[in-house]
Structure 1
Amino acid sequence: MNVVVLIIAILLMLIGLAGTFLPVLPGIPVVFLAIAGYGWYEGFKVVTPKFLAIMAGLTVLSILVDYLAGLLGAKFFGSSPAGIWGAFVGGILGLVLGGPVGLVLGPWIGAFVGEYVKLRDVNKAWRVGVGTVVGIFTGVAAKVVIGLVMIIWFLIVVF
């Protein structure tokens, strides 16, 4: 029975890792829940409370990275507060209205529009929009790394 539970936990972690790319799945929180579920099953002897707390910290870090990546990308590429707010609003609207494609296009369009309305400079607005998308993809890459660290560390602890 222990092997079956371990296989289920690993499959859930892989689904969570896929969620770092797909906005429909919560991603890293699924990885954490799989680790916590396995720990609960085995009585927190192998997956200790300390280990679980570290995994919770990595989960929170991934959520922060996910939230801030596009905004910081816009700021790094020279956005004004109007462009950053545009990226934020565009990200929410893009996700709601456009799903996965909207998640990328929404922040870019929002940053572009916010920056253009503020400065009336198409080139700067374009650059800020591109920076937003770069930030989003950087955030996805960071979440993949965090997820892989969590999964590999779990496998080391279990085996």
Structure 2
Amino acid sequence: MEWVAWIVAIMFFVVAFIGLIYPVIPSVLFINGGFLLYGLIDTFSSMGWLFWIIQLLFTILLFGADTLANLFGIKRFGGSNAGGWGSTIGLIFGPFVIPVAGILIGPFLGAVIAELLVTRAGFKQALRSGVGSLIGFLTSVVVKAVVMIIMIGIFIFFVT
């Protein structure tokens, strides 16, 4: 039965990594879902309270990294809160409007449009906010990937 548990967990982990580039998929839920399903199929005996506390802390870090990296990128390039909201909206809808490139174009355009419409920023400043959004998003993807790899490494350490 252990091999079935590994297959299910790995499938969930793969979906979690797909979620890094397709933000509609909640990566953190799939990572933790892989842990839970592994435990349900095999046994929770190797995943004690220490394992779950560590994973909870990393889960909180994943949620924070996503938001903070994007806002930091926008603020670092002189954007406003409106740019942050526009970037978030673009991140959600971009992949649906422009299937492949929307993941990058959506947040950029969202930040630019929000800066132009809400703050009445000049075009140059709005573009800077868009670039900050893009850099923040890419930074967020890298940070989340590293944290997810660490989470999976801890999982492997505990269950093997």
TM category (shorter chain) comes to 0.7 to 0.9
Q: Is the 8 A contact 2:24 2:92 kept in 1?
A: no
Structure 2 unaligned residues grouped into runs of 5+: none
Aligned match of 1:144: 145
Distance 2:4 2:92 in 1: 39
Aligned match of 1:154: 155
Q: Is the 8 A contact 1:36 1:52 kept in 2?
A: no
Distance 1:92 1:158 in 2: 35
| Cα distance change of structure 1 residues 64 and 125 upon mapping to structure 2, 3 Å threshold | same
Report the TM-score when normalising by structure 2.
0.83
| Cα distance change of structure 1 residues 92 and 68 upon mapping to structure 2, 3 Å threshold | farther
Report the TM-score when normalising by structure 1.
0.83
Aligned match of 1:60: 60
- Could you list the per-position Cα deviations for residues 106-130 of structure 1 after superposition, in whole angstroms to 9, with x for gaps in the alignment? 2211211222342442221111101
Distance 1:40 1:49 in 2: 16
Task: Give the paired residue count.
Answer: 159
Cα root mean square deviation, aligned: 2.3
Distance 1:11 1:103 in 2: 23
- 120-129 or 49-58, larger mean C-alpha shift: 49-58
Deviation at 1:95, TM superposition (A): 4.5
Aligned match of 1:130: 131
Q: Is the 8 A contact 2:90 2:110 kept in 1?
A: yes
Structure 1 unaligned residues grouped into runs of 5+: none
The one-letter amino acid of 1:28's match is V
Q: Is the 8 A contact 1:46 1:158 kept in 2?
A: yes
Q: Is the 8 A contact 1:86 1:113 kept in 2?
A: yes
Deviation at 1:96, TM superposition (A): 4.8
- 63-72 or 119-128, larger mean C-alpha shift: 63-72
Identity level (%) = 33
Aligned match of 2:116: 116
